[in-house]
Amino acid sequence: MTNYTFTKKIILPFFFLLILFSANAQENERYTQYFYNLTSINPAFAGTNGITTFMGAYRAQWVGVPGAPKTSSLSINSSLKDKRLGLGVSIITDQIGPSDQVAVSTDFSYNIELSPQSRLSFGIKASANLLNVDFTKLYLKDGPDPVFEDNIRNKFSPNIGAGVYFYNKNTSIGISVPNLLATKFYDKYSSSASVSSIAKEKMNLFFTADHIFELDYYLKFKPGLLVKIGENSVQTYTSATFMVNDVFTIGMSYRFGGTICNLAGFQINDKMFIGYSYDLETKSMRNYNTGSHEIFLRFDFLSKTQKRSSLGGYF
């Protein structure tokens, strides 16, 4: 099969399906340093580095605001014995105000060789979510409201996602929909107040792209782009990161709409990397919080003879 035939018969229909399913939008966890572990939004990334990678992350958003989001995650992804296959598992806990949610997901990927220097990976994601909401934690100015009488306890919702990821030594491009199914957690109507309270999650389409420029033997530069397309919104993130001597990274990113992010990372040894980011709101929220903090630790399981894949930018 020629590259043109493959693109026409497989890649284009796959992209079309992803765009079609993204007519609605879902809010996913926000991570400033998403590019270190793309499996959170794109299952096709699993195993593309050719090694087993463990990652733990914690994010505290809008510090100083009561009930502000707090997100923690543990994940592991690896290429299997057949290097064309990848597998990933992650656990994410998300706390926002009176609600907390636990999501467990499994990612499976299959990559094909387009050339000796580039590959294309397809991925699917299966996830299970448990949502709890304790309405007694809310302060109701006008007293009790029938809409908030019944708490949400262990509301279970399954979901599926899909993605595609192109990568070579210096460039990567991905498109994905982590959740293809719209889920309604809560829908209650108050006849006395003539209002309806609805809690639901919808789908988002994610587009990512980056390229590594080798400016010098000791210096690399990577600009990146993340576009998140929702039902009624488009969010765009840009980033610029430098790596010095394959050890120290520093950079900045900007979310259009008013967030500046400062990034830093350090390669402790061949297997461990630690990263930190500080986000500062520049518009509506800047007077109500002291910023957002995010920290993560990545551990690569490398044997003495094993090396990371030469494909795919790794910082």
Q: In this predicted model, what pLDDT tens digit does every residue of 14-50 receive, in sequence order?
A: 444 443 433 333 344 456 788 888 998 999 999 998 8
Please give the share of the chain, as a percent, with pLDDT higher than 70: 76
> Does the structure show a pLDDT above 50 at 158?
yes
Which domains can be identified in the chain, with CATH numbers? 3-301 (2.40.160.40)
Q: How far is Cα 141 from Cα 146, in angstroms, rounded to an integer?
A: 14
Q: How far is Cα 63 from Cα 51, in angstroms, rounded to an integer?
A: 35
Q: How far is Cα 106 from Cα 78, in angstroms, rounded to an integer?
A: 12
Instruction: Give the dihedral sign, CA 113/81/161/211.
Output: negative
- Residue-level pLDDT at 200: 59
Q: How far is Cα 187 from Cα 147, in angstroms, rounded to an integer?
A: 9
Q: Please provide the DSSP assignment of 232-270 as one string.
A: S-EEEEEEEEEEETTTEEEEEEEETTTEEEEEEEEE-SS
> Does the structure show a pLDDT above 60 at 313?
no
Residue 243 contacts by C-beta under 8 Å, 6 or more apart in sequence? 219, 220, 221, 222, 249, 315
> Which tokens go with 32?
């400033």
Residue 305 contacts by C-beta under 8 Å, 6 or more apart in sequence? none
End-to-end CA separation in angstroms for the chain: 34
From the centroid of its chain, how far is CA 31? Answer: 6
pLDDT tens digits for range 284-306: 777 778 889 999 999 998 766 55
pLDDT tens digits for range 235-253: 999 999 999 998 999 999 9
pLDDT band for position 151 (50/70/90)?
confident
pLDDT band for position 230 (50/70/90)?
confident
